[in-house]
A and B are shown apart, each in its own frame.
Chain A
C-alpha cells in the first residue's frame, strides 16, 4: 500500500504549485466541472456550517477534487465527513487517511458507537440492520453532532430512478427526511438556500454527471482512486451468485466455501461483505473506461442493498440515507 502514499502525495503537490495544464478537458466535462464549482461556492457563501460527505468511492473522490479546485488557492472552507461502517475494505481506510493528510484537509471519521459496542456484523445481522445502524443512523448522528446546515453528497441523477427527480439543493426537515412531493422548484442557477433552525439542505454537485463522465474525468484529470477499482488477483468466494472478496478474517466461511484467487475489480465500493466484485481484465484506467463503454450491467447491480425492490432507494432516502 506504499504505492497509494506515493500516488496521493504526487497528486497533492499540484495544488501547492499549479502548473499551467496543457491537458484540455473535453468540452462537456468543462461544463460539468464549472457547474459543480459554482454549486460548491454557493454553499460555502450561504451556509454557516457546511460539510462534505466523503465515502472514499470514485464519485466522492471526484467531488473532493472539484472542491480543491473550487476554492483554490484557499483550502475548501468546510470539513469532510466519512461515516465508517467498520466493514470498509482495508485499502479504503488507507486511501482516505493518506489523501486527507497529503491535501491538508479536515477529515472527520464518525462511527456509530452503539453499533460498534453491539458488534453489528453484516454477515450475521443481515445487510438491512447493518446498513441502517452503521450508515443511516451513523450519518444522522454525525450530522446532528456537527449541527451541519448543508451536506454535500456525490449522488448522480443517472444512478437510480428516484434520484432523477431530486433537486441539486434538496431540502431536509429537522428529522433529515426528504419529501419528494414537496420539493422547491429549482430554476436557472439560482438556488434557494433558506432554511430554519434545525433544517438542512443536501447538495448534489454531481447531479448532471453520468458514470461515464466520472470515469472520463478521472482519466483526463488524473485523479487517484482506491486501487480496488482496478483488476487484480484477489481472494473471493461466490455466494448467492455474487463474488465477495475475503478482505479480512472476520468473514465466516460457509460449508464447502474455499476462497480462490480470481482477477476481479469493483465498480462501486462500500462495506466489503455487501459489495459484489466483477471478473475483469481492466488493470488501468483506460481499460476501465473501455469496459465501461461496452458495459452490459449498471453499477448498482453490484450493490446488494438495492435488491429488495425497485422502490427501495426512495424509501431509504425518505429516512435520511444519502
Chain B
C-alpha cells in the first residue's frame, strides 16, 4: 500500500499542476487583442447576428461559465476547431505529434548514447587533455543557439555539398505524384538526417557531463574501489562496475530531455520547416489560430508534466538511495 501512495500523490499533484497551467493559458488567450472570432465574423453583420454567432461559440457567457466549458472540453480532449485548417484541432495535432516524436525521440536516443559513451571515457580519464577538449567542444555545441547552428549546417551540407534536402519532412513532388511505401520511408529518413545531426550535436554534451559527474561519484564508492583492488582490468571495472550504476541519472535526464526538447523544438522545427507541434504552434500563433495554438500548448504541457511524473515515480522505485515520505 505504501508503495502505491507515492505514485498516486504524484499523479494528483501533476493534475493540479496541469489545472494551474491550463488556467493561465485560458486567461492568456482571453486577453489577446482583437476578437478571436474576427476571422469568422463579417464586419457587415448586424449586432444581433454577431451575437448569435458569439453564442454558438459560447463567447457570450460570463467568464467563469466559459472557463467551465473550457475545462470540460479539455477533459474530453475536445480542443475546438482550427480556423486555418477548418478541421478539429485534435485531428490536426494527431497528424503532427508523430512527426515531432520521430525527430526528437531519435535525436534524444542518439545523444544519450553518444553522451553515455563519451561521458564514461572522460570520467575515467579525469583532468586529461581529452577531457578538456571534449568538454570544451561539447559545451560549445551545447551553448550554441540551435537555429544558428542549423543554418550553418544547412549552408554546409545542403547548400555547398548538396547532400540533403533543405527543409521539410517529405518531398512533395514524390508524394503527390505517387511513390511506393519504401520510397516514402527512405524519403522521410533522408529529410531526417540534417535536423537529427543538428539536435544530436547540440545536446549530447548535457548527457556527457552528467554521465561524467555521476560516474566520478560512483567511482568513489567502496565496491568499485574493491573491484580495482582485486586487480580486475580497468575496462571491466569501468564498464561493469562504475558505469552501470552511474547510468540512472542519465536515463532520467534522457526522459526529461525528451519532454524539454519537444517544448524547445519550435526553433529547430522552424529552421527545417519540420511539420511538428512546435512549428504548428508558431504558425498558429502568428496566424491567430487560437484554438490550434491553445491545443498545441496543451499537448506540450501535458507531455512535460507526464515526463516529470514518470521520472519521479521510476526514481522512487529504482533508486534505493532516494526515499520519499
Chain A partners chain B: no
* Residues of chain A at the chain B interface (Cβ within 8 Å): none
